[in-house]
């Protein structure tokens, strides 16, 4: 079938993981594969990283953990959200590690571990500055500390709020708070660095790092050249070529006018596939090295491109165009969409076929 396709280069994912592991001096590096590995396919990415030596995997929700567990019966899976009300039995049954974010969750999991010897170790998450999810630093007092110490736990986690800006004073402030937490909980393995924090001095990383975005080719830093390999290539089938008889408008609301003789290419990809509608008129499509300006509004299932600069012979032979590739990367699309690379990838919908290359 001719359909919009996301080609995922698993070798590039592994290369990005190894690059970050080197920044962590070759020490333990895990992987964040939540949101279906940012839309690229959690099962395939996880399998590739297992082969590369990755041992711990983080997802956002229980539902994501169960999808992964169904295909990978033995890997270590942590759930950032932790066990919500009535979810605990699934964590026990499927051998999933909850992240403890609240005192209530701490008490519940302590009781569960007491009653179920097979309930797994929890990770303790301290919110050191996001004010989003996790224990408050001020929660680390008696009797809570005693409860944490009696819990079977392995990781002590936090999440940097501003690591993409390496110069932000918030990085040091959060790290200082975690050093105090470490003194109170010296038995835990620390796990601090997201992708961006790999570029901070090594002491900020913790023992185990947990990159996400950079694995998938997203530049994790605000003001630095991109060092990651491109992972994703998004293609769309060419549905129609049209040469305008006369000066005419294109698309909904007749927002764009093109001169007679213009060649319009209609491609089978639109905002229901995850091409943001805000990108209308600012996007490009590529046929080989030819760069085609997108024209008219991005519609639900189609986008049009001005193919006037492409030689007729090349145009007649082409069957697809590329929207996301090494010429228009996830970071470029982020600027065009006025968002971040993460959302560019997670927007790519399930209507788009996934294809894996090594």
Distance in Å, CB of 66 to its own copies, minimum = 8
Whether a cis peptide bond, with omega within 30° of 0, leads into 102 is: no
Is 85 among the residues known to form the active site?
A: no
From 7, 162, 189, 308, residue interacting with its own copies (rule: CB under 8 A): 162
Nearer to its own copies, 14 or 40 (CB): 40
Q: Which is nearer to its own copies, 28 or 106 (CB)?
A: 106
Residue 326 binds its own copies, judged by CB under 8 A = no
Question: CB of 229: closest distance to its own copies in angstroms?
Answer: 21
Q: How far is the CB of 129 from its own copies (least distance, A)?
A: 7
- CB of 55: closest distance to its own copies in angstroms? 23
From the CB of 340, what's the least distance to its own copies, in Å?
7
What residues from 59 to 78 belong to the interface with its own copies (CB under 8 A)? 60-64
- 286 near its own copies, judged by CB under 8 A: no
What is the Cα–Cα distance from 247 to 132, expressed in whole angstroms? 54
According to CB under 8 A, which residues from 132 to 151 bind its own copies? 132-133, 136, 138
Site size with its own copies, rule: CB under 8 A: 75
Q: How far is the CB of 341 from its own copies (least distance, A)?
A: 11
CA distance 43 to 69: 9
Active-site residue, from 21, 34, 91, 305 = 34
Catalytic residue among 27, 111, 149, 252: 252
Q: Is the dihedral of CA 16, 18, 22, 24 positive or negative?
A: positive
Of 186-225, which residues contact its own copies (CB under 8 A)? none
Closer of 250 and 330 to its own copies (Cβ): 250
Instruction: Kindly identify the residues of this chain, within the stretch 19-38, that bind its own copies according to CB under 8 A.
Output: 34-36, 38
> Which of positions 216-275 make contact with its own copies (CB under 8 A)?
237, 239-240, 242, 244-245, 248-254, 264, 266, 268, 271-272
Q: Does 174 bind its own copies (CB under 8 A)?
A: no
Beta carbons of 242 and 307 less than 8 angstroms apart:
no
3-state per-residue secondary structure call for the chain: CCCCEEEEEHHHHHHHHHHHHHHCCCCCECEECHHHHHCCCHHHHHHHHHHHCCCEEEECCHHHHHHHHHHCCCCEEEECCCCCCCCHHHHHHCCCEEEECCHHHHHHHHHHHHHCCCCCCEEEEEECCCCCCCEEHHHCCCCHHHHHHHCCEEEEECCCCCCCCCCCHHHHHHHHHHHHHHHHCCCCEEECCCCHHHHCCHHHCCCEECCCHHHHCCCCCCCCCCCCCCCEEEEEEEEEEEECCCCEEECHHHCEEECCCCEEEEECCCHHHCCCHHHCCCCEEEECCEEEEEECCCCCCCEEEECCCCCHHHHHHCCEEEEECCCCCHHHHHHHHCCCHHHHHHCCCCCCEEEEEC
34 catalytically annotated: yes
Which residue, 164 or 233, is less far from its own copies as judged by CB?
Answer: 164
Residues 97-126 that bind its own copies (CB under 8 A): 101-102
CB of 343 to its own copies, least distance (A): 5
Give 164 or 209: the residue with its C-beta nearer to its own copies: 164
Residue 131 is a binding residue for its own copies (CB under 8 A): yes
CA distance 140 to 115: 25
Could you tell me which stretch among 6-14, 127-135, 143-151, 223-231 binds its own copies (CB under 8 A)? 127-135
Q: Which residues are tagged catalytic?
A: 34, 252
């Amino acid at each position: 079938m001719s359909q919009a396709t996301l080609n995922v280069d698993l070798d590039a994912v592994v290369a990005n993981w190894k690059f970050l592991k080197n920044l962590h001096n070759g020490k333990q590096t895990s992987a964040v594969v939540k949101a279906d590995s940012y839309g690229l396919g959690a099962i395939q990415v996880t399998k590739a990283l297992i082969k590369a030596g990755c041992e711990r995997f983080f997802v956002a929700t229980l539902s994501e953990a169960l999808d992964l567990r169904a295909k990978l019966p033995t890997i270590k899976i942590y759930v950032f959200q932790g066990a919500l009300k009535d979810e605990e039995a699934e964590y026990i049954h499927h051998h999933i590690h909850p992240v403890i974010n609240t005192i209530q969750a701490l008490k519940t999991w302590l009781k569960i571990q007491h009653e179920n010897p097979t309930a797994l170790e929890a990770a303790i998450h301290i919110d050191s500055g996001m004010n989003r999810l996790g224990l408050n630093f001020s929660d680390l007092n008696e009797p809570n500390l005693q409860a944490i110490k009696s819990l079977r736990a392995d990781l002590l986690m936090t999440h940097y709020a501003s690591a993409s800006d390496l110069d932000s004073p918030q990085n040091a402030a959060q790290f200082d708070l975690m050093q105090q937490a470490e003194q109170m909980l010296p038995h835990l393995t620390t796990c601090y660095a997201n992708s961006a924090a790999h570029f901070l001095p090594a002491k900020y990383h913790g023992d185990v790092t947990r990159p996400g975005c950079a694995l998938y080719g997203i530049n994790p830093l605000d003001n630095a050249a991109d060092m990651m390999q491109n992972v994703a290539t998004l293609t769309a089938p060419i549905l129609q070529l049209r040469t305008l008889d006369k000066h005419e408008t294109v698309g909904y609301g007749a927002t764009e006018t093109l001169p007679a003789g213009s060649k319009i290419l209609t491609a089978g990809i639109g905002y229901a596939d995850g091409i943001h509608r805000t990108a209308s008129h600012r996007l490009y499509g590529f046929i080989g090295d030819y760069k085609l300006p997108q024209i008219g509004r991005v519609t639900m299932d189609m986008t049009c491109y001005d193919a006037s600069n492409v030689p007729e012979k090349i145009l007649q032979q082409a069957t697809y165009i590329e929207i996301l590739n090494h010429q228009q990367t996830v970071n470029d699309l982020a600027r065009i969409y006025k968002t971040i690379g993460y959302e560019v990838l997670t927007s790519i919908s399930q209507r788009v076929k996934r294809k894996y290359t090594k």
